Structure 1
């Protein structure tokens, strides 16, 4: 059997196994249609409405293409040659498709407030006998769900399969860079996917790249760097995340005081407000549930909850400015001034840092050692990418990003809204200059 899905990134996505089609049709996978891939980024780039569903089938398609190339060009001849055993195809394809299954609504912000873990939830959905996904995987073999889960947990014994899904250049990253670039209307994430797939090759320790494709790999690294700087770390998207975080935080606080209005969709949040939720409670959540809660809270008698819900739904981001290590000492003073202006600084101010390593050479002593990108030379020896690429070496291990202070835009509003001649606003503005916190004059 073969089914074909039309896709704006890969043109066609080929479903060639019944188990893949059955997984796509499972309710836990269909739920991903209702969760945006980029969360609050659509408040900055209005086209970024694509879902985790479309990303997941895209990761599957790239993995399918890798398996095809490996099976055609590098088929194993014996168990110790380090080449591709196509018996691994099904587990690789299933893991690729299901790798994001456990993401919750507004993923990382929700995780932070309610202490959930999307990777653990992915594993739980795959291995729980209560889910449709598990029932589908059980048809392959009773041990198959755990095999798929172990790929996502990076404990599967074949490193080639693990690195297809999770490494510094994998099917997951390649799809989200291309897909996010397309839907945000930017070009930063574009790179030569076809060339990279052509130069990929299996070896005993995982996946390497023929040295002839070094420039395509360099282009991918730079594309990822640019996407983080220009899209993923955009100050407005981060501002909306801060509002969302504080909105959920306020709801949680009011619930503990028995002051949160419960109504329909908000009932679905109660298990998370109490910290006592089941896997089915988690599966019932999506972006729409949270957005309905926010619509209800817009009419709340609690002014903070109501205002934060309105700011989020109506896109009124907080203002943000850059913080430097030497100016962080001024934050408590600025918090006091915001409080004097009538805002609860706990909910209307925050610092947020966004940092990323564009590329990180392997360090076994680091807390989360990364699989480095290896290039295979003509004599079959391997060399680490940054050792021969001056371009990649220049950004290897270099943390990029910034820390920002978020506060109500009204603190900088015109005198039609605020009396900027009053001491509170005058004092506050003395600390803000050229998009950064500065020492006051």
Structure 2
């Protein structure tokens, strides 16, 4: 086996991972097994795929590790199908060149390797970028991942990184990993639906893979499979509205955000000394972290600090840590920022009068998604549209063939919510009501059935 070039080394016995979504995940290449066993990839076992969503959907404990394996498996199946049915015969005929297989599989496996603990919240606080860090992990000579990829060729890490960066010259490869219907999205929809216990994200993966085919400028789908593709688009929309944008999950994210902000502020305060060490987070508080520092962090590290901060002398830090660990979410109401901002300002003042610092006990959270869009060349960050291929070989963009997708195309969906302590409208005890009953009554008159009342009426009341 040692005499065979590393990129051509096939495992003597195929390795498999038993998976609840794909049944078996098949590993045939030595390089893929080595990447899975690398230190950086194993770290993904300790990072939840859905962050704070497990506070709402208790089954959502799955990791970035399981998702990454799933993306790899879908990409592997696509490569097998393309090599079997659509292999290129002459140069530039739009067929599949199977020499691209290994770069596809490695990019699929490693596409999320740069995610940090509680990914998106952590990114906002410490101004990190998981895609940039993914590229750094792949290209840095300090990582095991880089050393493994270099065994294939000295420039192979850069090739894999360019797929992540969407600069790889073959659009088929890029679109398999990153497009409006790719291996990444297909796995996370099915996987997240399975672990959250909902049916919104389910769609016919087998049918979609069957009608998928390469063409010169990327990936297309046979028009006979249009209904499977439109079902995927609708499922993605429903998952965002019902799961990813769930108000309680966002509430816990708000608390996490404020908790980390408060800890950072206290660390920067020369007059405050934390009771315990924060050595693993210190480089991020100082904004001078290295890749080595980043790779030391996972969800467990942060949760350990949160447990430690319960006992801190700062009342806000201690309270926020307790709220997060014991799942005491903030309450929220939907509002319109174009008409209701005066009301929000008034509510913040009431919260301040009740003894809560609005900086740490209120938040405005926006969650919006564009379910589907067609290619718009005038936009900087345009999307690769989904193309259907007719029997004669001509292409038609999905929303032009599907009235269902047309109804979702180009329309941003989601909402804007104001978050605040639940105690303001539902005190924990009778004594608290007596303590700030006037404030309690004034606050609650602006809140009705989980949403801010008619803005015109509210403005009249404020006047």
Task: Name the TM-score class by shorter chain.
Answer: over 0.9
Residue 422 (structure 1) aligned with residue 437 (structure 2): yes
Secondary structure of the residue aligned to 2:279 is helix
1:399 alignment partner, one of 408, 412, 428: 412
Aligned to 1:288: 300
Task: Give the whole-Å Cα distance in 1 for the aligned partners of 2:305 and 2:329.
Answer: 19
Tell me the alpha carbon deviations over residues 127-175 of structure 1, each in whole angstroms, 9 at most, x when there is no partner.
Answer: 0000000000000000000000000000000000000000000000000
Q: How does 1:239-318 map to 2 (within 5 A)?
A: 239-258=251-270, 259-261=272-274, 263-264=276-277, 266-318=278-330
Tell me the alpha carbon deviations over residues 215-254 of structure 1, each in whole angstroms, 9 at most, x when there is no partner.
Answer: 0001000100110011000000000000000000000100
Aligned to 1:148: 160
Residue 366 (structure 1) aligned with residue 384 (structure 2): no
Residue 408 (structure 1) aligned with residue 452 (structure 2): no
Aligned to 2:172: 160
Task: Verify the 8 A CA contact 2:354 2:436 in the aligned structure 1.
Answer: no
1:8 alignment partner, one of 13, 20, 30: 20
1:345 alignment partner, one of 355, 358, 370: 358
1:78 positional shift: 1.5
- Bigger mean CA offset, 318-327 vs 38-47: 318-327
Task: Give the whole-Å Cα distance in 1 for the aligned partners of 2:254 and 2:334.
Answer: 15
Secondary structure of the residue aligned to 1:419 is helix
Task: Verify the 8 A CA contact 2:200 2:238 in the aligned structure 1.
Answer: yes
1:328 positional shift: 2.2
Task: Give the whole-Å Cα distance in 1 for the aligned partners of 2:335 and 2:435.
Answer: 23
Task: Give the whole-Å Cα distance in 2 for the aligned partners of 1:274 and 1:328.
Answer: 34
Task: Verify the 8 A CA contact 2:50 2:60 in the aligned structure 1.
Answer: yes
Decide whether aligned partners of structure 1 residues 262 and 205 sit closer, same or farther in structure 2, where only a CA change above 3 A counts: farther
Structure 1 runs not aligned, ≥5 long: none
Secondary structure of the residue aligned to 1:141 is coil
1:216 alignment partner, one of 228, 231, 239: 228
Decide whether aligned partners of structure 1 residues 379 and 435 sit closer, same or farther in structure 2, where only a CA change above 3 A counts: same
Decide whether aligned partners of structure 1 residues 235 and 24 sit closer, same or farther in structure 2, where only a CA change above 3 A counts: same
Task: Give the whole-Å Cα distance in 2 for the aligned partners of 1:263 and 1:79.
Answer: 63
1:49 positional shift: 0.1
Task: Give the whole-Å Cα distance in 2 for the aligned partners of 1:320 and 1:103.
Answer: 28
Tell me the alpha carbon deviations over residues 242-295 of structure 1, each in whole angstroms, 9 at most, x when there is no partner.
Answer: 00000000001001103252635x210000000000100000000000000100
Aligned to 1:23: 35
Aligned to 2:450: 435
Residue 75 (structure 1) aligned with residue 87 (structure 2): yes
> TM-score normalized by structure 1?
0.98
Deviant stretches of 4+, over 3 Å: none
> TM-score normalized by structure 2?
0.94
1:331 positional shift: 1.1
Aligned to 1:103: 115
Decide whether aligned partners of structure 1 residues 421 and 278 sit closer, same or farther in structure 2, where only a CA change above 3 A counts: closer
Task: Give the whole-Å Cα distance in 1 for the aligned partners of 2:373 and 2:114.
Answer: 27
Aligned to 1:231: 243
